[in-house]
A and B are shown apart, each in its own frame.
Chain A
Amino acid sequence: MPVPKHTSDIFEILSKGQFICSNSCKDTTRKLYNIIDENFDDLYDYFKAINLVLEKGDEYYMFTRLENKTDLERKIEAAFKWIDILDFFKTFDHSFGAGYRFTPSDILIKLSVDVDLKNKLEGLKKYAGGKEKHSEILEKVLDQLRRDNFIDLENEISNSYKTLSSFHYLERLILSINIPESVQNEILK
């Protein structure tokens, strides 16, 4: 089965649980996205043979497995963390989503005028490994998002970040959680 020569690079990124996004800041990643786009069927079959499913999302690619390997506890923990982080950023700006550009200082400025946002950031302290300062907590959170490939540092000088299209995955995850109607009504009260 002919596969493109970048297959090992693609595997390298995706097997770490990262995403290949069409709007990545790295030229090479964007190139990989196009390569997958062109050879999707071949690569799909190729990775299928080693029990990995190449999945196409909204402008991103990721791996899923044929059978479950991670324990549930860990997944719930991760999902909870994402819910908290997502909630924080959506409070910062309702339109925070794929393609959104921001700098940590934008958020820090808003902290001083938005108590809700500040409380939420303090709620994120548990993911920041013992950091106390707002800027440090934020930095940690951003660092985690960057490592998971949801955002990318676009400009090192101005320290501006760009939200990648893999952010759609988080939103999709949120939307796919079902809340029974009775519970919804309860919340509204």
Chain B
Amino acid sequence: MKTFSSIQQLLGTLNREQKLLSELFEKRKILSFNYDYALELVDFDADKISALIDYSVVRQNGNNVELDDLYLQFFEQVMEVNEEINVSYINEHIQNIKQGIIYYLQENNETRKYSYLRQVKQALRKIGTIAFRNVVDLNRNIDNTFKNEPNYKIKKTKLEHLDEKRHTIYALINQTDHLVSGEEEQTFFKVASDEELNRIIIVLKLQLNECRHNLIDIQKQIIEYLNRIKHQSGVIEKLRQIKYLKDQFELKSKTDIVALLAENTAVVFEPNPTYPLNVPLDQLQTDDDARDVILKVRKRIKTNIKSNMPLMGSIGGEYLETNIEEEIQINLDEVKNGFIAGSNNLFDFICNYDFGKEVTFDECVTIYCQMISQFDTLFKITDVYNSKQDVEFAMVYPK
């Protein structure tokens, strides 16, 4: 078997033999397309057909030719022409297989026997693909019907028909499965079993299995679609009746809507709740935004009442006069400087010092103590004591 090395080559070959290929495609549902007819279509050039067979575009089956499954599938899928779900097609194949098996068992001539075997193999190979394609088409048709069919009744009937088809396909798949499991034609499958047949059967079984899974899903889908149609048309029908009654103003008297709504406590029916909460006073007084809010509210609430702003009384003249109060502070530094410059002892010096104000004896004592504690390094404190007005003090001289 050759393979195409490039797309150009593939398209070139297909284009060259387009007459034959389109004819084969049109007649794909007829099982046998005679080799001689095919020869006529390619201007009696047998090489052209054999080249196609070499590239497995076309398959030769005894005296018949047909499009290879790969290309057949490709054409059908691209052109979406397999809308018709032909269940009888599978059935026909099953019958063919059964007949082929009978012929095979009855035929004595080896070569002819072999060609029957080939026929059976061919049919087996195709049956899986056909079943699979049917399933895909069924799925698409169901989807299309559900989405595009505007008439409810037709939609429902169509879906029910498709469901029947699904049922038939399922039965046929089971039948095929039963057949290839070798339960019916035990002799044939024991006698004729060779490598190729086994492989075909395995592939077929896998395909059938997949089909079955798909069908289960399709069944689910149909049930769902039917339910939805039922629900939708149910709602619409009910709605029409209710609307009719409503327009006749009879809805309340003739149905149980009042009782129904009386029991219904859904929050949906309630007006939108508002939760008026008091504003915290603290926030009103401190928050900056609060002032804007108050002004905004103020703008909205316009009252005609003009409030009289209470005026303050005039400020008395005595508050505006400037009062000067003098207080004399004793500058200890100044006193120290004066003391160091002289030679008198400290206590007498303080008592005689002119502070600019009357200084009592007690204050003199305080100043004396303050001076010593602040400037003791600058003074010479002697052990000689003197006393004045019952106060004993040390004689302190400048250094």
In the assembly, what is the distance between CA of A86 and CA of B246, in Å?
13
Interface residues of B in 235-260 (CB under 8 A from A): 235-236, 238-246, 251-252, 254-258, 260
In the assembly, what is the distance between CA of A67 and CA of B261, in Å?
13
Kindly provide the distance from the CB of A49 to the nearest chain B CB, expressed in whole angstroms: 16
- Contacting pair A79 B261 (CB below 8 A): yes
Most A CB contacts (10 A, CB to CB) among B245, B255, B257, B273 go to B257
In the assembly, what is the distance between CA of A92 and CA of B256, in Å?
28
- Contacting pair B258 A72 (CB below 8 A): yes
Mostly helix, strand, loop or mixed at chain B's interface? helix
Kindly provide the distance from the CB of B150 to the nearest chain A CB, expressed in whole angstroms: 8
Q: Interface segment, B80-88, B187-195, B264-272?
A: B264-272
In the assembly, what is the distance between CA of A16 and CA of B273, in Å?
6
Q: Interface segment, A1-9, A105-113, A179-187?
A: A179-187
Query: Given contacts A80-B246, A87-B243, is CB(A175)–CB(B256) below 8 Å?
Result: no
Kindly provide the distance from the CB of A174 to the nearest chain B CB, expressed in whole angstroms: 6
In the assembly, what is the distance between CA of A97 and CA of B251, in Å?
24
Query: Is A68 positioned at the interface, with any CB of B under 8 Å from its CB?
Result: yes
Which residue from chain A places its CB closest to the CB of B275 in the assembled complex? A15
In the assembly, what is the distance between CA of A152 and CA of B267, in Å?
20
Give per-residue flags for B161-197: 1 if the beta carbon is below 8 A from chain A beta carbons, else 0.
Answer: 0000000000000000000000000000000000000
29 sampled A-B residue pairs with Cβ under 8 A = A15-B267, A16-B267, A17-B268, A17-B269, A52-B267, A64-B265, A64-B266, A67-B265, A68-B265, A70-B269, A72-B261, A76-B252, A78-B268, A83-B239, A83-B246, A87-B243, A90-B235, A90-B236, A94-B152, A95-B232, A148-B268, A171-B235, A174-B238, A175-B235, A177-B238, A179-B238, A183-B245, A184-B241, A187-B245
Query: Is B338 positioned at the interface, with any CB of A under 8 Å from its CB?
Result: no
Kindly provide the distance from the CB of B47 to the nearest chain A CB, expressed in whole angstroms: 59
Contacts of A84 in B (CB 8 A): 243, 246
Kindly provide the distance from the CB of B282 to the nearest chain A CB, expressed in whole angstroms: 24
Query: Given contacts A84-B243, A179-B242, A187-B245, is CB(A17)–CB(B255) below 8 Å?
Result: no
Which residue from chain B places its CB closest to the CB of A95 in the assembled complex? B232
Interface residues of A in 132-188 (CB under 8 A from B): 148, 169, 171, 174-180, 183-184, 187
Query: Given contacts A14-B267, A62-B266, A62-B268, is CB(A179)–CB(B261) below 8 Å?
Result: no
Contacts of A78 in B (CB 8 A): 268-269
Contacts of A74 in B (CB 8 A): 269, 271
Contacts of B273 in A (CB 8 A): 15-16
Query: Given contacts A64-B265, A64-B266, A94-B236, is CB(A178)–CB(B255) below 8 Å?
Result: yes
Instruction: State how many residues of chain A have any CB contact under 8 Å with chain B.
Output: 46
- Contacting pair B269 A177 (CB below 8 A): no
Give per-residue flags for A9-33: 1 if the beta carbon is below 8 A from chain B beta carbons, else 0.
Answer: 0000011111100000000000000
Query: Is B281 positioned at the interface, with any CB of A under 8 Å from its CB?
Result: no
Contacts of A171 in B (CB 8 A): 231, 235
Query: Is B342 positioned at the interface, with any CB of A under 8 Å from its CB?
Result: no
Contacts of A52 in B (CB 8 A): 267
Kindly provide the distance from the CB of B137 to the nearest chain A CB, expressed in whole angstroms: 24
In the assembly, what is the distance between CA of A79 and CA of B264, in Å?
11
Give per-residue flags for B254-297: 1 if the beta carbon is below 8 A from chain A beta carbons, else 0.
Answer: 11111011101111111111000000000000000000000000
- Contacting pair B232 A174 (CB below 8 A): no
Kindly provide the distance from the CB of B396 to the nearest chain A CB, expressed in whole angstroms: 81
In the assembly, what is the distance between CA of A92 and CA of B269, in Å?
26
Most A CB contacts (10 A, CB to CB) among B152, B242, B251, B268 go to B268
Query: Is B12 positioned at the interface, with any CB of A under 8 Å from its CB?
Result: no
Contacts of B245 in A (CB 8 A): 179, 183, 187
Which residue from chain A places its CB closest to the CB of B233 in the assembled complex? A94
Kindly provide the distance from the CB of B243 to the nearest chain A CB, expressed in whole angstroms: 5
Contacts of B235 in A (CB 8 A): 90, 97, 171, 174-175
Most A CB contacts (10 A, CB to CB) among B245, B252, B267 go to B267
Query: Given contacts A174-B242, A184-B241, is CB(A76)–CB(B258) below 8 Å?
Result: yes
In the assembly, what is the distance between CA of A78 and CA of B267, in Å?
12
Kindly provide the distance from the CB of B320 to the nearest chain A CB, expressed in whole angstroms: 61
- Contacting pair A16 B255 (CB below 8 A): no
In the assembly, what is the distance between CA of A171 and CA of B235, in Å?
7
Q: A52-B267, A171-B235, A175-B238 are in contact. List 4 more A-B contacts (CB 8 A).
A: A62-B268, A75-B269, A83-B239, A183-B254
